[in-house]
Amino acid sequence: MRAFTIPTHYRSNLVGRLKAHRKAQDPRKKDIAPTLLDLGAVRFVFARHFGFCYGVENAIEISYKALEENPGKRIFLLSQMIHNPAVNDDLTARGMRFIQDTHGQMLMDWNELTADDIVIIPAFGTTLETEARLKAIGIDPLKHNTTCPFVEKVWNRSAQLGEKQYTVVIHGKAKHEETRATFSHTAAGAPAVIVKDMAEAQELGRIISGESPAERFHTLFGTRCTPGFDTAKDLQRIGVVNQTTMLATETQAIADHFKHVMIVKHGEADLKSHFADTRDTLCYATNDNQDATNELLKADADLALVVGGYNSSNTSHLVELLEQKFPTYFIQDESEILSADTIQHFNYPAHKLESANNWLPAKRPLTIILTSGASCPDTLLDRVMLKVLGYVEGAKDPERAVAELAI
């Protein structure tokens, strides 16, 4: 896999060396056991895979190269390039402006743009409608396009399904940039509907099987399906793709559910005429990070810290996995750690910040799981680790411990 040119301020001194150590030990990534950094009074357990993925590094490289190669030009980000405030804030501090927020709401008027401006498409991609609007202004939407290749893979698979007269069921969050983009690209060639979770998949399954009336489809999915969706015709042949940052296990479970529904309705012998196997649309980085997080669940730890942007879907799913076993705190950076007694953290289901007291146990040695989402710079984990160490007396020097581990 190619190496990207990433600004040095995103490269980590401590965590980066731990990753390099594991990569040297296991270049084929066959071992997904966590990495232990034992500092005596406190032990940090890191997932085998976390942090920047291929698509994120690609987006960062393109964005900073655009700045470097176009001095004096106006450069716009269509929306948040990735869901990490540290990266987005750094880009805007260098003069970039956002055109839309993460929900597609305008932050400026399209009429402000000219053909001489540069517009960067985020890693999530964008809709065909937005591409057409940029072209009408005279801006090539593909010139500075940071769309993740794995998102484009989903679009290509959806197009293939459409060519074979399948309806595409998209497992994703309807307001998320990536799902909006995938829906737009899919709808150009196939009927499509978005389901957010297994409960909605089961509702749709009952409509397909005839257990629920067809009218219920438009009550549940009327704002999340293509115009003119015909339940009598468009639910006869289906394939499932996903927003690449969803829980991979949930996407597969949803696909398996629809497969079962079609077997019951049409018989196993005729399954291929009604259900397309699409498991190859699952993102490798999402799979790797989630598999590595599942390995963390085998650890004997006192708590977990997950670092990432609050609107990061893939990060929220790591929190969802870890909180099954550990007290888990979803934080944006080290500033959320207010003291040894108080931590500010994000309650993802409720979409609000909360404070927790007595979050750092007094027991020693203390074992802390530390990981992050695919859009989080490793430097933030360094800073979180060092902030925690400031509250733990007697811990070893992390610089020396990392150096010894890498010998």
| Dihedral of alpha carbons 211, 214, 218, 221, sign | positive
**CA dist 292 → 29, 116, 286 (Å):** 11, 45, 10
CB burial readout 183-215, b (16+ within 10 A) else e:
bbbbbeebbbbbbbeeebbebbbebbeeebeee
Task: Give the whole-angstrom CA distance, residue 65 versus residue 175.
Answer: 29
Residue 80 C-alpha from the chain's centroid = 13
**CA dist 75 → 111, 140, 141, 370 (Å):** 15, 13, 13, 35
Written as six digits, the tokens of 43 are: 């032990």
**Cβ–Cβ under 8 Å, residues 278 and 238:** no
**Which residue of the set 57, 131, 177, 178 is catalytic?**
178
**Cβ–Cβ under 8 Å, residues 36 and 398:** no
Task: Give the whole-angstrom CA distance, residue 197 versus residue 75.
Answer: 37
| Residue position matching structure tokens 């649309």 | 281
Beta-bridge mates of residue 195: 171
Which amino acid type is present at position 376? C
Using H for helix, E for strand and C for coil, what is the string for 176-202? CHHHHHHHHHHHCCCCEEEECCHHHHH
178 is catalytic: yes
**CA dist 336 → 152, 332, 388, 394 (Å):** 35, 7, 11, 23
Which amino acid type is present at position 296? L
CB burial readout 108-147, b (16+ within 10 A) else e:
eeeeebeeebbbbbbbbbbbeebbeebeeeebebeebbbb
| Residue position matching structure tokens 């009429």 | 111
Helices (H), 215-278: 215-221, 231-234, 248-266
Task: Give the whole-angstrom CA distance, residue 123 versus residue 140.
Answer: 16
User: Which residues are part of the catalytic machinery?
Assistant: 178
